[in-house]
Amino acid sequence: MSRKKLIKFLGLKAGTLIVLLIAVSVISFILVEISPIDPVRMYIGEMSLSQEKLDDLNEYWGVNQSLALKVVNWLGNLANGNLGTSLIYRIPVTEVIGERFQASFMLIFISWLFSGILGFFLGVLAGFKKGTWVDKGIKIYSYIVCSAPVFWIGLILLMIFSVQLGWFPTGLAVPIGKLAGNVTLVEWLHRLVLPALTLSITGIAQIALFTRSKLVEVSSSDYFLFAKARGEKGWSLIKRHGIRNIILPAITLQFLSFSELFGGTILVEQIFSYPGIGQAAVTAGLQSDIPLLLGIVLISTIFVFCGNSIADLFYKFLDPRIKESEANEF
Amino acid sequence: MSFDKERFKSPYSFLFGNMNLRTKTLLIISLVGFVLLAIAINSFFINVDNITTNFAIKNSQPSLQHPFGTDWMGRDMFSRTIKGLGLSIVIGGLASILSAIIAVFLGLSSTLGRYFDHAVNSMTDLFLSIPHILLIILVSISLGGGISGIVVGISLTHWIPLTRVLRAEIKQINTSTYVKLSKNFGRTKLWIAKNHLLPLLIPQIVVGTILVFPHAIMHEASVTFLGFGLSPHEPAIGIILAESMKYLSNGSWWLAFFPGLSLLIIVLLFDLIGDNLQKLLDPTQANE
């Protein structure tokens, strides 16, 4: 792998990201623009103003400008890093997102790692023990979990562990009567367990099914058969000829799951009242905090794009087979 | 697998006897289809106003009269759940059909030329880059709430798999020798589309539409759970579950458990229909 190629790859990705962000921001802007929400009314809230004052405000914010002009202004502001002010929190959108995204990122990262490792392990186990009750159990689990709504699983966990057993609090990432800054790490982790578990339970299914089918595929290949004929068997056979071949596609798939993870986070945070970006998105949507909602759409786009690009990077630069075939071209 | 038939007997052989796969699949499809249709039709006749509030039996556990228990106003949760499932099936159906129309349109236009192909590809990338729930929320806000917002939102996020399948399929058929032969015989493009493309594409479209159904229903439930689209007194599954959250802490587990489980079963049933239909329409598997 040459460094030149990597730089070219990253440059191309950066260019794509910019184009993508422009497209997403224009489309989402137009979507909220045609909605029946009156931006001035949302800004002033319950205050009653005379029609003259309203007209002045409309004039000041350019409500009556043409759509094209508004889009251009919006893009100009974005280019300067100005995403506007959140109507609910009354602070710049970038600050809200920065704070909220940290909390969500921890949640997403933990469940991503946990579901990836456990899902891969279960998938290998199922493929290794193909046809046995272990395999069937893992498959049934995966099929059922794939069809269950994430938020329902969250509710069930909440009922079992918080209400019945009382092991975890029923909500709020910060204990009542404490400032967010004073929360100890243990208290915070304590509140992270159930949301992360919920996200992981659904995440495991997909990666397990994928790993299983890949391992079964590899098991029927010629080199696998040859290894068997040489007398290799059991776990060492799987480790040396199976896992080596399936780990890269599995990791790639796990990076491609960022979009679903983000969607899952939105639901899970709502159930466990975890103060992350998903909860902010729902609140912003329900209370028509348009600047915040648009900001969250943009950050989620960047997040998903990063996942996809890393998957691409793995595929292009780490897979020895692809590297070799490209080296042969020159 | 014609050898050693006994060993490969399906685990369900006690249910279906010696039927071949085609008969079995048809039976499964019609049974499951009947159940789903029954739910949809039943829910149509359940009038929301008839789900009476009766505070004497509020928050009662599941019993024979009320298999799913009652809620905080003494309303029968079973009727509310069936009503919600009916709504989900209707929304899911509309959204699947709409997304299939989008998919057919884009799939066909992607084969018109290189630029069309690029355009469809970039649209796919664009719609894959925003998490689905977020886009549905945006569309729902944009259309001012209501069922239409959810239906449009779901269809806009679910056309991608079918479009890809159709695009690949059309490309493959177009390079086949019988299409080339037809061209050499001087057949028009329309004739080729009607006689060579459509017969092969229609099964794909049907299966693709049905396979979107489960996803559409889940997204409908998720978005209504978050509070978008429908007003809080409508008995959608998502709204019922969101409401149940308030009563979880006093131990009313049945409020969340049964509606969610019913939704899970509906989703599994649709998956079953889709998988079996796929088997049925694939001539290499159908008569095994």
pLDDT-based confidence at residue A173 (cuts at 50, 70, 90) = very low
From the list A32, A260, A267, the residue facing B141 with the nearest CB is A32
Q: In the predicted model, what is the mean pLDDT of chain A? A: 81
Asked if A194 has any chain B CB less than 8 Å from its own CB, the reply is no
In terms of CA atoms, which chain B residue is nearest residue A36?
B144
Q: Do B129 and A20 touch (CB under 8 A)?
A: yes
What ipTM does this complex have?
A: 0.83
Asked if A29 has any chain B CB less than 8 Å from its own CB, the reply is no
What is the arithmetic mean of pLDDT over B82-105? 89
What whole-number distance in Å separates Cα of residue B276 and Cα of residue B21? 10
Query: Cβ distance B253 to A141 under 8 Å?
Result: no
- Please tell me the pTM assigned to this model: 0.83
Least confident of A175-184, A223-232, A236-245: A175-184
Structure confidence at residue A330 (pLDDT):
46
Q: How far is B193 from chain A (nearest CA, A)?
A: 34
Fill in the amino acid letter for A197: L
Delineate the domains of chain A, giving CATH numbers in brackets. 3-79 (no CATH), 93-329 (1.10.3720.10)
Question: Using CB atoms and an 8 Å cut-off, which of residues 122-151 of chain B contact chain A?
Answer: 125-126, 128-134, 137-144
Of these ranges, A68-82, A265-279, B244-258, the one predicted with the greatest mean pLDDT is A265-279
Render pLDDT for B250-261 as a digit per residue (tens, 0 to 9): 777 778 888 888
What is the arithmetic mean of pLDDT over A243-266? 87
Is the residue at B15 inside a domain?
no
pLDDT-based confidence at residue B6 (cuts at 50, 70, 90) = very low
Q: Is the pLDDT assigned to residue B102 strictly greater than 90?
A: yes
What whole-number distance in Å separates Cα of residue A187 and Cα of residue A177? 13
Q: Do A155 and B221 touch (CB under 8 A)?
A: no
Task: Choose the mutation target among A35, A261, A293 for the interface with B, i.e. most B CBs under 10 Å.
Answer: A35
Task: Choose the mutation target among B129, B136, B254 for the interface with A, i.e. most A CBs under 10 Å.
Answer: B129
Q: How far is B257 from chain A (nearest CA, A)?
A: 7
Q: How far is B238 from chain A (nearest CA, A)?
A: 9
In terms of CA atoms, which chain B residue is nearest residue A278?
B134
The pair of structure tokens assigned to B209 is 């539409």
Q: Is the pLDDT assigned to residue A64 strictly greater than 80?
A: no
Q: How far is A12 from chain B (nearest CA, A)?
A: 15
Angstrom distances, CA of residue B99 to CA of B93, B95, B126, B127, B177 = 10, 6, 16, 13, 32
Render pLDDT for B213-223 as a digit per residue (tens, 0 to 9): 888 999 998 99
Alpha-helix residue ranges (DSSP H) falling in A175-221:
185-219
Q: How far is A134 from chain B (nearest CA, A)?
A: 17
Question: Which residues on B lie below 8 Å from A170 (Cβ)?
Answer: 248-249
Q: In the predicted model, what is the mean pLDDT of chain B? A: 80
Asked if B264 has any chain A CB less than 8 Å from its own CB, the reply is yes
Q: Work out how many domains chain B is built from and give that number.
A: 1
Is the residue at B274 inside a domain?
yes
| Three-state DSSP string of chain A | CCHHHHHHHHHHHHHHHHHHHHHHHHHHHHHHHCCCCCHHHHHHCCCCCCHHHHHHHHHHHCCCCCHHHHHHHHHHHHHCCCCCECCCCCCEHHHHHHHHHHHHHHHHHHHHHHHHHHHHHHHHHHHHCCCCHHHHHHHHHHHHHHHCCHHHHHHHHHHHHHHHCCCCCCCCCCCCCCCHHHCCHHHHHHHHHHHHHHHHHHHHHHHHHHHHHHHHHHHCCHHHHHHHHCCCCHHHHHHHHHHHHHHHHHHHHHHCCHHHHHHHHHHHHHHCCCCCHHHHHHHHHHCCCHHHHHHHHHHHHHHHHHHHHHHHHHHHHHCHHHHHHHHHHC
Structure confidence at residue A40 (pLDDT):
66
Asked if A20 has any chain B CB less than 8 Å from its own CB, the reply is yes
Name the residue with higher pLDDT: B22 or A213.
A213
Q: Do A259 and B132 touch (CB under 8 A)?
A: yes
pLDDT-based confidence at residue A182 (cuts at 50, 70, 90) = low
Q: Do A170 and B225 touch (CB under 8 A)?
A: no
Structure confidence at residue B51 (pLDDT):
63
The pair of structure tokens assigned to A231 is 């007398």
What whole-number distance in Å separates Cα of residue B53 and Cα of residue B73? 5
The pair of structure tokens assigned to A77 is 């502001």
Dihedral sign from CA coordinates of A299, A87, B241, A187:
positive
What whole-number distance in Å separates Cα of residue A228 and Cα of residue B67? 55
Q: Is the pLDDT assigned to residue B8 strictly greater than 50?
A: no
Q: Do A27 and B126 touch (CB under 8 A)?
A: yes
Q: Is the pLDDT assigned to residue A86 strictly greater than 70?
A: yes
The distance from CA B134 to its chain's CA centroid, rounded to whole angstroms, is 20
The pair of structure tokens assigned to B37 is 């249709």
Asked if B40 has any chain A CB less than 8 Å from its own CB, the reply is no
- Which residue range forms the structural domain that includes residue B195? 27-50+60-281
What whole-number distance in Å separates Cα of residue B234 and Cα of residue B256? 16
Structure confidence at residue A221 (pLDDT):
84
Q: How far is A161 from chain B (nearest CA, A)?
A: 11
Is the residue at B90 inside a domain?
yes
Per the DSSP assignment, residues forming a β-bridge with B130 are none
Task: Choose the mutation target among B132, B134, B226 for the interface with A, i.e. most A CBs under 10 Å.
Answer: B134
What is the arithmetic mean of pLDDT over B92-104? 91
What is the arithmetic mean of pLDDT over B15-37? 77
Query: For residue B256, which phi and psi values (nearest 5 degrees)?
Result: -95, -35
Is the residue at B10 inside a domain?
no
Query: Cβ distance A304 to A259 under 8 Å?
Result: yes
Collapse the DSSP code of B70 into the 3-class scheme (helix H, G, I; strand E, B; otherwise coil) and give the result: strand
Asked if A169 has any chain B CB less than 8 Å from its own CB, the reply is no
Q: Is the pLDDT assigned to residue A62 strictly greater than 90?
A: no
Question: Which residues on B lie below 8 Å from A300 (Cβ)?
Answer: 130-131, 134
Structure confidence at residue B54 (pLDDT):
66
Collapse the DSSP code of B76 into the 3-class scheme (helix H, G, I; strand E, B; otherwise coil) and give the result: strand
What whole-number distance in Å separates Cα of residue A123 and Cα of residue A129? 10
Q: Is the pLDDT assigned to residue B34 strictly greater than 70?
A: yes
Q: Do B138 and A23 touch (CB under 8 A)?
A: no
CATH of the domain at B86: 1.10.3720.10
* Cβ-based burial of A231 (10 A; exposed 0-12, middle 13-18, buried ≥19): exposed
Query: Cβ distance A94 to A81 under 8 Å?
Result: yes
Question: Which residues on A lie below 8 Å from B228 (Cβ)?
Answer: 285-286
Q: Do B268 and A143 touch (CB under 8 A)?
A: yes
Question: Which residues on A lie below 8 Å from B212 (Cβ)?
Answer: none
Asked if A259 has any chain B CB less than 8 Å from its own CB, the reply is yes
